[in-house]
Amino acid sequence: MPAFAFEPPLPPVPPDAFVQTVRIREEGQPIGSATWSIPSIDNGVLQILTLDITAGHRRQGNAKRLLLEVLKQGTAYCKLKKKKLRKAWILVQHKEQVIGRSFLTGQSFHHVSTISNLLKDQDGLIYVRAFD
């Protein structure tokens, strides 16, 4: 069963802004990581900055487990601030992350916006999941 490591761990007193990397390990070996943040102007909105599983460990449910752990950490952070996690969002590449877009849709994220020419030779797509 995978284990998780948190860098840094959630603080007892939440700072105004927070960034955390969640690493997923299997048999002691790292198999993926995700980085998320909540900015100082916080309305319960979490941004997933990165979400990656190493090639040999994809399509085994690890990305889903990692995403759920990120959302649990975000929910716990919001509770420390006496707020509710309302939304999570992530920016993905239009051409290179077709499988990632499908994964996000399967995890209740919805494409809400396209930023044309944000990335080299491709658009950036914003996917959002609402909790309220």
Q: Dump pLDDT digits (tens) for 85-118.
A: 999 999 998 887 888 999 999 999 999 999 987 7
CA distance 112 to 89: 10
Whether the Cβ atoms of residue 108 and residue 129 lie closer than 8 Å to each other: yes
Strands of the chain, DSSP E: 3-7, 18-26, 29-38, 45-53, 87-93, 110-119, 122-130
CATH number of 1-85, picked from 3.20.20.140, 3.40.640.10, 3.40.630.30, 3.40.190.10:
3.40.630.30
Do residues 80 and 17 lie in contact, with contact meaning Cβ atoms separated by under 8 Å? Answer: no
pTM of this structure: 0.92
CA distance 35 to 6: 10
The residues spanned by each domain of the chain are 1-85, 87-132
Using CA atoms, how far residue 16 sits from 11, 24, 33, 43, in Å, is 11, 26, 23, 12
pLDDT (tens digit per residue) in 33-58: 999 999 887 689 999 999 999 998 88
Structure tokens at 15: 């700072």
